[in-house]
Amino acid sequence: MTVNEALRSINAYPIPERTIVEVCERRGLDPCGEAGVSVLDSADFKLAKADLMLWLSYAPNVSQGGQSYSFSDEQRQNLRNEAAGLYGDNAEDNDDGQQMHITYGYKGNRL
């Protein structure tokens, strides 16, 4: 199995080839390379998987060749949560050697 095939196995949704290639480029993976145990267990592969899960969570519902692909709001949230978990487990260190966590949210008492 190649890295491309391993990433596509995340979900049956038709992820465009260019999306897979871009994610692999960003994470330093060869999409045509063999997906052995060392690759599948690497932080780069897990982060690429998280990138695709996040991408899938925002992907539109589509119909293609008589087949429909859609996600419920709950499924989309589950994909985001799983991606966030992978990002947290495989986060890269910042300059201080600490993991960088960014939290967004409302602070204050007025909107």
**Tens-level pLDDT at each residue, the chain (111 residues):** 999 999 999 999 999 999 999 999 999 999 999 999 999 999 999 999 999 999 999 999 998 788 999 999 999 999 999 999 999 999 753 333 444 444 555 555 655
What's the confidence (pLDDT) of residue 107?
58
pLDDT for res 50: 95
CA 84 to chain centre: 9
pLDDT for the residue numbered 95: 36
Alpha helices in 16-63 (DSSP H): 17-27, 37-40, 43-58
